[in-house]
Structure formats: C-alpha cells, structure tokens
Amino acid sequence: MAKIAVLGAGYVGLTTAACLASMGHDVVCGDSNKEKIAQLSRCSVSIFEDGLQELVSSGFRNKNLAFVGSVVDAVRSSEFIFLCLPTPESSDGSADTSIIESVAKEISPYLSPRSVIVNKSTLPVGSVGIVQDCIQRRDVHVVSNPEFLREGSAINDFLHPDRIVIGSDNTYAAQRVAQIYAPLGVKILITDATSAETIKYAANAFLAARLSFVNALASVCEAVGAKLSDVMEGVSSDSRIGTHFMQPGPGWGGSCFPKDTKALLKIAQDSGYDFELLAGVISSNERQFDHIAGRIIAEAKSVSDRPTVAIWGLTFKAGTDDLRESPSLKIISRLTKSGLSIQTYDPTQVDVKSRNQQTTNFETALAACKDAHLLAVLTEWSEFSEIDPNLVAAQMRSLFVFDGRNVLNKQLWNNAGFTYKGIGER
Ligand code: UDX
C-alpha cells in the first residue's frame, strides 16, 4: 500500500483521505486551518456527509489515517500528494488557482524524490503544467485525477466509481497513480493531462445541460398542456437517453455545476471558441429560477394580496446541508422581492435568516406551514413525501401546494383538499 498525503480537509479532501485509508493506504491529511485539524484529531467530523464519520473513525482505529496542521508536515516521506484545495470562482467566471499555486510552491522543497503530485480538485485545463512550474522539480511529476463526487453520496461515488480518470504526460507517473485505485477493480482511463482536466468540466457541463433541457421541456409542457411525467416516461424509455439524472426541479445549484459550467465557458472563450450552447445551458437555468418563482407568486397572490408562503427545503438538494448556489435561496429572494412573507423549514436545520431578513425559520415542517396560504416544496427529502397532507392542511390558511420537485403524491394531497401544482403540468 502507498504512503499518501492529502492536502485540504474540506469536503473533497476529507472524503478522499478517509476513503484511501479505508482501501488500506497510509494517509496523512494536512490543512492549515488549525481548528478544523484539532476537531478532526479528536475524530470529530462536522461535514454533513453520510458515512464519513464512520470512515474517519475506522481510519483512526486502524491507525492509517492521521491529521496534521501543516501541509509541509503532511508531505514529508509521502509517495503521493493529493491536492484537494479550494478553487473558488473568480469574478470573470474562471477558477481561481492561487491557493493551489501557493501550496505547491510551499511544499516543493519537502517533496521526496520521485513522489507524484495528484491534482484532485477541479482545476482549469492546463493546471498540471501550472503546478509543475510552481514546484520547479524535475524529479517530481504532476498528474490530473479529477473527482466525480456528489454531495450526499461522496463515499459511494469514491469507492464505487464509474471510472477513474488519470491524466499525465508521464506514463510511469500515471501508472503509479493507477495502482492506488487497483483495489477498486473499475475502469481506469489514462490519458494526457489536458484531456483529463477537460473530462471533469465536460462531464459536469453535460449533466447540467441534461437538467436545463428537462426543466425547459417542463415549461413547454406547461405551455402546451402536456404532462411532463408522461413525456419523460416516453422520452427516457429510449435506451440512448435513459432515466438517470432527469428529474425536473427548481433549477440546478451547488458548489460545482454553477462554478464549473462558467469556468468551462471561460476556458473555451479564452481558447477562441464561443461555447454558445453552454451559455444557453447556464442562462436557461437562471430563467428556471424566475419561472418557478413566478408560478409560486401567481398562485399565492390569487388567494391573498399579502400571502404567506411556506418553503420546505433550503439546501441545493436533499442529502446535504450545503446552501451554496441553492436554487431555493434564489427563489426565496425573488419571492420576498414580490412582498411575500416566507416561512422556512429544512431537515438539516440550516437557517437562512442571515441571508434574508424577510424569512422566518421553523424547526418542523408542520410548524413552517402555520397560517400559510401556499406550501412550496423545493428539495426532494423523503421526509416531505412521507408527511400526511391532512396534518399539513390543518395548519394552513388556504390549501395550495407547489411541488417544485414532483415528489409528492398528487392524489393524496388532492384528497386532503389541496390544489396541487407540479412542474411540467398546468
Ligand atoms: C455534481 C456532479 O454530479 C459530481 O459528479 C461532481 O463531482 C460535482 O458536481 P453535486 O454538485 O454534489 O455533484 O450535485 P448533483 O447531485 O450532481 O446535483 C446538482 C444539481 O442538480 C442539484 O441542484 C440537484 O438538485 C440538481 N438535480 C440533480 C436535478 O435537478 N435533477 C436531477 O435529476 C439530479
């Protein structure tokens, strides 16, 4: 097994460190955030990710997972150094690689000869070369090994991936990294660095395009009077299209799709290609926020001049406590601008008060519905589809429900007296 350093103990870094340790590798995870490292050194995981605490605990028990407060200490005597560091979005839409560059320069003198740096964070095309220039070491190679982790299923995605992608202009370095993943027994694609870096952006952009198309098709169905659920059953029965990743929603969000689609658009533009199709994917998603908010406002104002709307679901999707680029927050902002009073509930108990003073947060789904004119469901937690609509009806001033994820049982809610509206139907 390999001696591996993972730099960055955030969502990707901690998942990567814990999973590599669970595969039997000897892992040390370094982060400059002393408080985060102190908490992890007490075997306490604050990241909301199913199964991560258990995996970190087993790494501690097996003594092959440790945490240190310095990236330099982490890299000493390591054969592989995984960079899992933040690459925030710059104002022009490009990925900011300044943290990666400064860490690469910092660790360079401490890297063992013939060690390999592994770019795990989502980095712009050409980043392998950038990191190689930063370390100024001819005896250390850099490879791209993009992550394809979804929040809420990151451990499963790491240990049961569809594929491993490794990009390097040095075949030996690529094959050494491939050996790390051999125990997983999955397809390993070894290509050049540029292609590997492009795969990550292309995969996310393709998935985002799929969702933008489905959500736009939902609006077409609403306009022509078709039923999206039936249309999608007919369309996705084509084996070339399939049923995965085709659920309509309030739009896509999160810490990756918005950032990565804009970054790819910028990368293409900077390379001389106007990726207008991708620009349409991004703008269509923005229009989805307007469209969903518009339907909620129209419905709510049909029953009251000063309606109160209950919102179930604040995070960007179910299974996470992550509010970054959450469609729910973008829609809530549009609702409050239209004068609606907003009562919110989220199963993770995240609160958005600090982001929007015109909302009131509640600890239970039923409490959030008290005296509301309309209920809007904006994330797909199973808790929402399991609630008895009769209990909800007893709380509300008027019985309107907008199902922004098409996850409720329409017949049950109609039987409880609700006027049910979903996505993709009038
Ligand atoms: C995504 C990619 O899936 C993952 O491979 C990559 O490594 C990181 O970015 P993540 O951002 O965690 O993962 O979320 P994902 O599950 O892909 O959902 C992204 C957005 O699409 C969310 O807002 C989600 O609600 C929405 N979505 C997803 C839909 O609206 N419908 C779907 O069918 C699936």
Residue identifier of the C-alpha nearest atom 16 of ligand 1: 150
Q: How far apart are CA 182 and CA 180, in angstroms?
A: 6
> pTM value?
0.95
The CB of 405 under 6 Å from ligand 1? The reply is no
Q: How far apart are CA 148 and CA 98, in angstroms?
A: 22
Domains of the chain: 3-191 (3.40.50.720), 193-426 (3.40.50.720)
Q: pLDDT value at position 21? A: 98
User: Do the Cβ atoms of 399 and 424 come closer than 8 Å?
Assistant: no
Q: How far is the CA of 244 from the centre of ligand 1 (A)?
A: 11
**Mean pLDDT, residues 407-422 taken together:** 98
Q: pLDDT value at position 356? A: 67
| Percentage of the chain exceeding pLDDT 70 | 99
- Minimum-distance ligand 1 atom for the alpha carbon of 252: 23
Q: How far is the CA of 81 from the centre of ligand 1 (A)?
A: 27
CA-nearest of 154, 166, 55, 171 to 120 is 166
Q: pLDDT value at position 88? A: 86
Q: pLDDT value at position 264? A: 95
pLDDT digits (tens, 9 = 90+) for 346-399: 999 987 776 766 899 999 999 999 999 999 999 999 999 999 999 999 999 999
pLDDT of 185 strictly over 90: yes
The CB of 49 under 6 Å from ligand 1? The reply is no
Q: pLDDT value at position 352? A: 77
Residue 238 neighbours by CB under 8 Å, 6+ apart: none
CA atoms within 13 A on the CB side of 234: 6
Average pLDDT, the chain: 96
The two structure tokens encoding residue 163: 């594929």
**Mean pLDDT, residues 145-172 taken together:** 97
The alpha carbon of 280 is separated from its chain's Cα centroid by a whole number of angstroms, namely: 21
The CB of 147 under 6 Å from ligand 1? The reply is yes
Q: pLDDT value at position 90? A: 87
* Helix H or strand E encompassing 358: none
Q: pLDDT value at position 354? A: 67
Mutate to test the pocket of ligand 1, among 15, 19, 199, 257 (most ligand atoms within 8 A of CB): 257
Residue identifier of the C-alpha nearest atom 21 of ligand 1: 252
Q: How far is the CA of 166 from the centre of ligand 1 (A)?
A: 22
For residue 264, the SS3 value is helix
- Stronger pLDDT, 92 or 397, i.e. the higher one: 397
- Minimum-distance ligand 1 atom for the alpha carbon of 255: 11
User: Do the Cβ atoms of 3 and 176 come closer than 8 Å?
Assistant: no
The CB of 202 under 6 Å from ligand 1? The reply is no
Mutate to test the pocket of ligand 1, among 11, 252, 314, 381 (most ligand atoms within 8 A of CB): 252
In this structure, which amino acid lies at residue 336? T
Q: Sheet containing 80-83: which strands, arranged edge to edge? A: 65-68, 26-30, 3-7, 80-83, 116-119, 141-144, 164-167, 188-191
pLDDT of 2 strictly over 90: yes
- Minimum-distance ligand 1 atom for the alpha carbon of 154: 12
The CB of 380 under 6 Å from ligand 1? The reply is no
- Minimum-distance ligand 1 atom for the alpha carbon of 251: 30
Residue identifier of the C-alpha nearest atom 20 of ligand 1: 252
- Minimum-distance ligand 1 atom for the alpha carbon of 380: 25
Residue identifier of the C-alpha nearest atom 3 of ligand 1: 150
Complete DSSP assignment for 196-247: HHHHHHHHHHHHHHHHHHHHHHHHHHHHHT--HHHHHHHHHTSTTT-STT--
pLDDT of 424 strictly over 90: yes
For residue 122, the SS3 value is coil
**Mean pLDDT, residues 27-51 taken together:** 94
**Mean pLDDT, residues 97-113 taken together:** 96
**Mean pLDDT, residues 203-232 taken together:** 97
Q: How far is the CA of 147 from the centre of ligand 1 (A)?
A: 14
pLDDT digits (tens, 9 = 90+) for 303-330: 999 999 999 999 999 999 999 999 999 9
Q: Write the burial class of residue 205 (CB in 10 Å: 0-12 exposed, 13-18 middle, 19+ buried).
A: buried
**Mean pLDDT, residues 153-170 taken together:** 97
* 228-to-327, 348, 385, 389, 424 alpha-carbon distances in Å: 20, 30, 19, 23, 5
Tell me, yes or no, if 256 is annotated catalytic.
yes
